[in-house]
Structure 1
Amino acid sequence: MEEEMANSNEKPSAQAVNKIAMMALLMIGSFVIILMQTSLGTALPALMTAFNVDSATVQWLTTIFLMVNGIMVPVSAYMTTRIPTKYLYLGALAIYIAGTFMAWTAPTSAFWVLMLARALQAMAAGIVMPLMQVVALTLFSPESRGKAMGSIGLVIGMAPAIGPTLSGWILDGKHNFLGMTWGGDWRSIFGLVMPLAILVFLLSIFFFKNVLETKKVSLDIRSLIESTVGFGLLLFGFAMVSDHGWGSFSYVIAPIIVGAMVIAEFTRHQLHMEKPFLDMTVLMNKQFAITTALVSLTFIAMLGVEMVLPTYMQTVRGLSALDSGLTLLPGALMMGAISPIAGSFYDKYGAKRLAIFGFALVTLATLPYYFLTETTPTIYITSLYMVRMAGIAFTMMPLTSSAMGVLTRAQNAQGTAVNNTARQIAASLGTAILASVMQSVANDNMPSAGLKTADPLAYGSKALDAMLDGFHTSFFVAAMFALAAFALTFFLHNGKVNAAEKGGK
C-alpha cells in the first residue's frame, strides 16, 4: 500500500474493473453515510433528554455536520488527486465506521463525544459525495454517463429525504428483526447503519479498484487554512440564522461577512497559483457556471421545503415526527424512481429540456403550498410533494452531468469539488432563508401576550393564523427560487457537450 501511495503521475493498473460492483458498493456506502445528514433531526428531543442539554446545544449536532461536510468538499479535490481511489474510499468508510461506533456508544455524560462522532461522519460524507461523482464520470463513457449519474441521484436525493422518516420509525418503538429486538431509543439510529457500513468496507477491499489517476502534488497549507476558515465561517453563519435570526451580529452577520472575505482572498490566491488547491477557473466556463447555479437552486428548492414542510405538519397539524416523515416518504420514493429515467433521457436529449420541464413541475407544485390551512388533506400535501420531487429528479443529476460534461477529463475532480461546494453552501443558505422567513413573519403577526389571558381561544386562533402566515411566505419564497431557476434554464446549451474527451486525461 505504501509503495502504491508513493507512486506519482502513474495511471491505475490495467486490472479488470467490475463497474457494476464498484458503483454498487460506492452507492450503498455513500447512501449509508449521507443518510446521517438528516437522520438526527427527529431524534433531537430525545437527545436533549438523554444528554440533559438545551435546544441550542443539541442543534450543534446538525450544525457541526453541515460545517465539517462543507469544509471537506473543497479538500476532496486534492485528496482525489493525491490518494489512490481504493484507499480514499476505504479511508472514508473507516472514518465513518469509527464515528458511528463512537456515537452509538457515547456516554450521556459527555455530549462532546457525540459532537466529535458527528464531525467524523461529516468528514466521510465530504469525501464520498464528490468521489462518487468523479468515479462515475471516469468509469462510464459520455454516451452512458447520464444513466450512471441518474443512479447517483438515488443517493444524493433520497438519503437526506429518507433519514428523518427512518429515524422517526426507529424512535417510535421497539421492532423485531431477524429474531432481535431493537429500536425505541436514539442509539439504534447508529446501531442500524453500522453493520451495513462494515459489510461495504469488507467487500470494497476485494472489489474496489484504483480507477483515477493520481499525482504527487503538494498540499498548500495557506489554501487549506483559508478554505477551512472561509467555508466554515460562512456555513456557521447560515446555520445560526434559525436560532439567532439575521439581526445577530456575533452569530450570523460577522461570521458570514468574515467568511465571505476569506473566501474572496482564497479565490484570488487560487487564481494566481500554478497548481491551485481548488481550481476556480472552471467557473469561467459559462455553461459550467450556469449549470452549477441551477444545481444550487435545485438544492435550495429541495432541502428548504424538506425542512419547512415537516415543521408545518407537526406544529399546525399536530402530527408526530414519524407521521410527518411518512407523509413525505412517497416523494422520496418518487425521486428514486425518476432519477434513473431522467439519467437515460439526459443521455438522449441533454439537460435543457429536462431542466425546463423539471423546474416547471417544482414551481407549479410549490405554489399551492401557499394556500395550506390547518385542515388541508394530507393526501393533497403528499401528492404535491411527489410532483415536486419528480421535478427535482428531472433536474438535479442531469444538470450535474451537464456541468461536468463541459469540462475536460483532467478537470473532473476540481469541477466536482466546486460543484459540490456551491451545492453545500446553497443548501445551508436556502434552509437559513426559508427558516428565518417563516419565523420572522410568524413573530410579526403573533397576537399580543395580553390576549392570551383575556381571550385564550381568540389568542390560539390568531397564533395559528400567524404561524400559517409564516409558512405561506416561506413556501412562496421557495417557489420564487424555483421560478428563477426555470428562467435560468433557457440559457443552457441544447443537447449534450462531451468536452471531457477533448482534452486532458
Structure 2
Amino acid sequence: MQNEKMKGRSAVLAVMLIAAIAGALMQTSLGTALPTLMKAFDIDLATAQQASTWFLLVNGMMVPLSAYLARRIKTKTLHLVAYFLLLAGILTSMWTPENADAWWLFLAGRILAAMAVGIMLPLSQIVVLNMYGKSERGAAMGMLGLVIGMSPAVGPTLTGWILDKNHELLGLTLSDSWRSMFVIPLLILLVAIVLTPFFMKNVVPNKKMALDIPSVFLSTVGFGLFLWGFTNVATDGWTAFGSVILPIVLGALILLAFVWRQLKLPLPFLDARVFAKKNFTIPTIGLLLTMMAMFGVEMMLPTYLQNVRGMTPLDSGLTLMWGALFMGFLSPVAGGLYNKVGIKKLAFVGFSMLSLGTLPYLFLTAETPTVLISVLYAVRMAGIALTMMPLTTAAMAALPDEQNADGTAANNTLRQVSASIVVTILTSIVQNIVNTKRPSHAFKISDPLQYADKVMNASLDGFRVAFLISLGIALLGIVLTFWIQGQKEETAC
C-alpha cells in the first residue's frame, strides 16, 4: 500500500514539475530578449522592463488568492484552470503585432501568464507539503527548487539560442523572431495539460468556505497600487506624486487595512498570524533578501552583456547558463544538507557565497573576461541554491499542517513583491543614471567616437550601482543569519 502511495505522489510531483518548467520559463526567459523586444517594438529599456515588472506585480497579487483557491477547489481542477490560463497568456503575447501601440497587448498576455503562475507555484508547494512528511519535505522541495533554479539557466540560454538563428523543432521552424521563444514553453505546457487528467490527484483537503469579498478587494487593490507605483518609477522618477508616491502610500495603507481585517476574521482570507511565529518570519525575510539579490543581478547582466559587450542573445545566455545550471544541480543537494546541518549554517554559507560572488561585479568594465563573469555568476547561484528552498522549508516547518496554505501564500506573496520592487528600483536607477550622464546629441555629431565611449561609461555606471545594491542586500542576509535558529529536521528512520 505504501508503494502504491509513493508511486501516486511521485506521478503528481512529476506533472507539477513539468508544468512548473513552462511557468518558470515564462518568468525568466525575457531577460535575454529585452534588447530584441526594444528593437522590435521601438521602446526603451524602462518600457521593455515592464514585461518583467508587470509579471511579478500580478503574480504577487494572485498569490494571496491561491490559499483560498487551494482550499476551495479540487487540486486537479485548479491545476487545469491555471494551465489553460497560462496557455491563453502565452498565445496572447506570442501573436502581438510589432509596434509600440500594441505593446499593451503583449503586457496583457504577460498578465494572464502571471495570474496562472501565481496559482501554480504556490499550489505546487501546498501539494508537496500535504503529500510529504516534515522529514521528507527537504528533498521534495529541493526538486521544486531544481526547476526554479534551472529556469534562469535554461530560459535565457534557450531564448538566446532561438533568437540567434533559425532552428527546427518537431517540424516547427523557430525563426530569429522573438515570437519563437514562446514555442517551447507552449509545448511543455501542452504535455502537462494532457497528463493532468490521468496522474493529478486531489491532494489538498477541500472545505466549503465563503470568499471574503472585502479581503479580496483590499488585497488586490493594495498590492496592485503598491507595486504599480514602483513600476512607474523607471519612467516617471521618484518625485512623481500622482503615478509613484500616491499609489505607493495608498497601497501600503490599504494593505495595513487588509492585515487588520485578517486578524479580526474567524476564518481569514490569508491568515496573517503566521508572522507571529519567529521561526516562520525570520527565514521568510531571508528568503526575500535571496530573491532580491538574485533578481537584482539576473535582470541586469543580460542587458549589460548585449548592450555594453555587444554579445548576441545566445552568447549572453551561454555566459550565464553554467552558473544557473550549477544552482539547479545544488538545489536538491541543499535539501539534503538542510536535514543534516540545519538552516542556520546553510544560510550563512549561502549568503556569504552570494556576497563574494557579487562584490567583483562592482568593478565590471567593457573588457572584463566573460569567463570571470560566468565563474562569479556560478558562485552567486550556488549561494542562492543554499538559501532559497532551505529557507522556504525552514519557514514552513515552523507552522502546523493546517496553516500550510496560509504560510505558502504569505511566503510566495512577499517573494514576488520583493522581486518586483527590486527589479523596478534597479531598472529606474540604471535608466536615470544613463539619462543623466548621456552626452548631448550635438556631441554625437561633433565627436561620434567620444560620444559612444561616454554612453558606454554611463551604462556601466548604472550597472555598477545596481550591483552595489545587490551586494548590500546579500550582506544583510549574512547579518540576518545570526537571528535564525539552528533547528534541523529529523531524518525519518
Q: Same fold (TM over 0.5)?
A: yes
Report which stretch shifted further, 62-71 or 329-338: 62-71
Contact residue 215 and residue 269 of structure 2 kept, 8 A: yes
Matches within 5 A, 1:54-133: 59-106=49-96, 113-133=105-125
User: Counterpart in 2 of 1:34?
Assistant: 24
Separation in structure 2 between the aligned mates of residue 107 and residue 459 of structure 1, nearest angstrom = 34
- Superposed CA deviations along residues 392-418 of structure 1, whole A, max 9, x for unmatched, are 000000000000000000000000000
Letter in 2 for 1:303: F
After superposition, the C-alpha distances for 1:337-376 in whole angstroms (9 at most, x for unaligned) are 0000000111222211110000000001101111111111
2:214 aligned with 1:205 = no
Deviation at 1:287, TM superposition (A): 1.6
Which of 261, 269, 272 lines up with 2:261 in the alignment?
A: 269
- Alignment of 1:411 with 2:431, yes or no, is no
Aligned 1:320-469 pairs, distance under 5 A: 320-446=312-438, 452=444, 455-469=447-461
Partner of 1:164: 156
Amino acid in the other structure paired with 1:155: V
**In 2, distance between residues paired with 1:313 and 1:265?**
44
CA contact (8 A) 1:161 1:306 kept: no
Deviation at 1:202, TM superposition (A): 1.5
Which deviates more, 422-431 or 51-60? 51-60
Change (3 A) 1:483 1:422: same
Q: Is the 8 A contact 1:351 1:494 kept in 2?
A: yes
Give the drift of 1:424.
0.6
Structure 2: which 5+ runs fail to align?
A: none
Whether the aligned pair in 1 keeps the contact of 2:357 and 2:379 (CA below 8 Å) is: yes
Distance change >3 Å, CA 464–CA 102, structure 1 → 2: closer
How far apart in 2 are the matches of 1:433 and 1:401?
29
1:299 is aligned to 2:291: yes
Map Cα deviations across residues 304-337 of structure 1 (whole Å, 9 max, x no partner).
1011222221222121222212211111101100
Deviations 1:73-109 (A, max 9, x none): 0100100111111111121112212332344445668
CA contact under 8 A between 1:405 and 1:496: conserved in structure 2? no
**Partners of 1:171 and 1:144 in 2: how far apart?**
41
TM-score relative to the length of structure 1: 0.89
How far does residue 493 in structure 1 lie from its aligned partner after superposition? 0.8
Deviation at 1:230, TM superposition (A): 0.7
**Alignment CA distance shift 1:473-1:58 (3 Å):** closer
Worse-matched range after superposition: 153-162 or 373-382: 153-162
Contact 1:145 1:347 in 2 (8 A): no
The separation in 2 between residues aligned to 1:460 and 1:48, in whole angstroms, is 19
Q: Is the 8 A contact 2:31 2:302 kept in 1?
A: no
Structure 2: how far apart are the matches of 1:162 and 1:118? 19
Q: C-alpha deviations, 1:127-158, integer Å up to 9, x for none?
A: 01101111111111211211111111122233
Larger deviation, residues 103-112 vs 476-485: 103-112
CA contact (8 A) 1:441 1:473 kept: no
Task: Tell me the distance in 2 between the aligned counterparts of 1:385 and 1:55.
Answer: 23
1:47–1:186 CA contact under 8 A, matched in 2: yes
Q: Residue 271 and residue 166 in structure 1: after superposition, are their counterparts in 2 closer, same or farther (change >3 A)? A: same
Give the unaligned 5+ runs of structure 1: 1-13, 499-505
Read off the aligned partner of 1:472 and give its amino acid letter.
R
| 2: CA distance, partners of 1:132 / 1:237 | 30
Q: Provide the aligned length of Structure 1 versus Structure 2.
A: 485
Q: Distance in 1 between matches of 2:440 and 2:114?
A: 42
Distance 1:355 1:91, change over 3 A: same
- How much is the aligned-residue C-alpha RMSD, in angstroms? 2.4
Give the residue type in structure 2 aligned to 1:300: M
Match of 1:192? 184
TM-score, structure 2 as length reference:
0.92
State the percentage of identical aligned residues: 49
Partner of 1:503: none
Q: Do the aligned partners of residues 341 and 447 (structure 1) sit closer, same or farther apart at CA in structure 2, a change above 3 Å counting?
A: same
TM-fit CA distance, 1:381: 0.6
